[in-house]
Structure 1
């Protein structure tokens, strides 16, 4: 059993929207969810097909999904693989609720 003593790094949707230039926002939802609406500069990499090879090296990665559950699991796995990853708290539900831009 792998138990981590540190909590999963998270950011708010506002922090994700204002992340440093060049910092990827990886949307791990499936294609139909992506097509329903996503953050304008997000990159679609569905959780069911994600590979460490899909993740840019040398920079933090922000992970987002619908509510923050799946992206949290992806962020944990990426951290376990040595990637500097954070989870976007509340996902696209919180993003839209905050009035942030959504591309459809």
Structure 2
């Protein structure tokens, strides 16, 4: 049987912490601007889910997608994957993150 839908790969928070040291990846935070400003992972780029269709990034780099719980990031990851991006959805989102957050714009 032919599979039309390709599953979105996922990553744990522990794997994310290791990956943050890698400059060959992009961390996209797809929460709202207000959520992002209230606290985000250092280095994360804010592209709210409702504007993900405007994102123009380097398709050669792995894109790690995060939101608060993992639901919006899964939607964003599916969309970006269809556009030819290499993506991984962060399971559990920021609800599972136990590292430091930075507030305000970066």
TM category, shorter: 0.7 to 0.9
Whether contact under 8 Å (1:59, 1:84) holds in the other structure is yes
Aligned-residue CA RMSD (Å): 1.7
Report what 1:71 is aligned to.
Answer: 73
Gaps of at least 5 residues in structure 1 are none
> Helix, strand or coil for the counterpart of 2:59?
coil
Deviation, 1:60, is 0.7
Gaps of at least 5 residues in structure 2 are none
Report what 1:37 is aligned to.
Answer: 39
Give the TM-score of the pair, scaled to structure 1.
0.85
Structure 1 residues 88, 38: closer, same or farther in 2, change over 3 A?
same
Distance 1:35 1:68 in 2: 18
